[in-house]
Amino acid sequence: MAGPKHESRASGTSLQAMAVNASASLRTREASLLERHRQGDALAFGELYQEFEAMVYNLALRMSGNPADAEDIAQETFIRAYRHLKKFKGKSSLKTWVFRIALNCSNTRLRRRARRLAHRVDDSEPELERAADAGRSPEERALATDLSAAVRVGLDHLPVHYREAVLLRDFEELNYSEIAEVLGVRIGTVRSRIARGREQLRQWLEANV
For residue 77, what is the domain's CATH number? 1.20.140.160
- Cβ neighbours, 10 Å, residue 70: 21
Average pLDDT, stretch 37-55? 91
Average pLDDT, stretch 16-37? 71
| pTM for the full predicted model | 0.71
Residue-number span of the structural domain to which 150 is assigned: 42-208
User: Does position 137 have pLDDT exceeding 60, yes or no?
Assistant: no
b (16+ CB within 10 A) / e for 27-43: eeebeebbeebeeeeee
Q: What is the mean pLDDT of the chain?
A: 80
Please state, in angstroms and rounded to a whole number, the distance separating the CA atoms of residues 64 and 20: 35
Residue 202's pLDDT band (boundaries 50, 70, 90)? very high
* Residue 144 in domain: yes
- pLDDT at residue number 121: 46
* Residue 37 in domain: no
Residue 129's pLDDT band (boundaries 50, 70, 90)? very low
* Residue 27 in domain: no
Smallest CA-to-CA distance from 86 within 16, 36, 18, 38 is with 38
Smallest CA-to-CA distance from 31 within 81, 98, 90, 83 is with 90
* Residue 152 in domain: yes
Contact by Cβ (8 Å): 52, 98:
yes
* Residue 165 in domain: yes
Average pLDDT, stretch 151-180? 92
Write the pLDDT tens digit of every residue in 72-105. Answer: 999 999 999 999 998 888 788 899 999 999 999 9
* Residue 24 in domain: no
* Residue 98 in domain: yes
User: Does position 136 have pLDDT exceeding 70, yes or no?
Assistant: no
Say how many domains are in the chain.
1
Please state, in angstroms and rounded to a whole number, the distance separating the CA atoms of residues 141 and 135: 10
